[in-house]
């Protein structure tokens, strides 16, 4: 459990609330099952775990976040070939970024490089 803005929740809770919830499409990219538009949130989260495993195990890039010295996290980013995920896309970009489909995925992990803090469709950046 950790704090996401004003909400304290697990990474799974955060991903489901923020990135598998069409009510947040304007400000948060959304995971979707492009082969099953009626998929439940839990079914989509099962896909998210696959996307995240592919991203973590074979990333295209890894960024390190260490704004004040010690490492606070890592960002793994991968463009996933749709043929590796049953012909699916990963999801859609947030509406304010155009809402187009994406095959990229981003996974934030903690300084232990094991604990997932968040993930979302698209190419994330650390500032």
pLDDT for 10: 96
Residue 5 has pLDDT above 90, yes or no: no
pLDDT band (50, 70, 90) for residue 117: very high
Average model confidence (pLDDT) across the chain? 94
Residue 97 has pLDDT above 90, yes or no: no
pLDDT band (50, 70, 90) for residue 35: very high
Higher-confidence residue: 5 or 107?
Answer: 107
- What does pTM read for this prediction? 0.93
E-strand ranges in the chain read 2-4, 7-9, 30-31, 61-65, 73-79, 91-92, 101-102, 104-109, 116-121
Residue 127 has pLDDT above 80, yes or no: no
User: Which long-range contacts does 7-16 make (Cβ < 8 Å, 24+ apart)?
Assistant: 11/115, 11/116, 11/117, 11/118, 11/119, 12/45, 14/118, 15/45, 15/48, 15/118, 15/119, 15/120, 16/41, 16/45
pLDDT for 83: 96
């Amino acid at each position: 459990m950790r704090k996401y803005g004003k909400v304290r929740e697990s990474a799974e809770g955060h991903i489901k609330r923020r990135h598998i919830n069409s009510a947040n499409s304007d400000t948060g990219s959304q995971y979707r099952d492009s082969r099953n538009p009626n998929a439940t949130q839990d079914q989509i989260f099962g896909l998210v775990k696959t996307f995240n495993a592919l991203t973590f195990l074979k990333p295209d890039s890894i960024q390190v976040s260490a704004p004040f010295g010690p490492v606070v996290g890592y960002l793994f980013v991968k463009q996933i070939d749709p043929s590796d995920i049953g012909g699916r896309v990963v999801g859609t970009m947030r509406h304010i970024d155009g809402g187009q489909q994406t095959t990229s995925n981003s996974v934030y992990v903690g300084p232990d490089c094991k604990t997932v803090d968040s993930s979302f469709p698209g190419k994330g950046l650390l500032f």
